[in-house]
Amino acid sequence: MNLLVIYVASIIGSTTIMFVEDSLSWGIGFRICVALTAEGLGMMIARMRFYRRTKAWGSAFTEPESGGRRREEEEDASISG
SS3 66: coil
Contact 71, 57 (CB under 8 A): yes
The domain of 14 spans 2-80
* pLDDT tens digits for range 22-41: 999 999 999 999 999 999 99
Q: Which amino acid, one-letter code, is at 14?
A: S
With 0-12 CB in 10 A as exposed, 13-18 as middle and 19+ as buried, what is 20?
middle
The total number of structural domains that make up the chain: 1
- Total-model pTM: 0.54
Residues of the chain above pLDDT 90, percent: 48
Confidence of residue 53 (pLDDT cuts 50, 70, 90): confident
Q: Which residue has the higher pLDDT, 20 or 53?
A: 20
**Sign, CA torsion 18/2/69/44:** positive
Q: Which amino acid, one-letter code, is at 59?
A: S
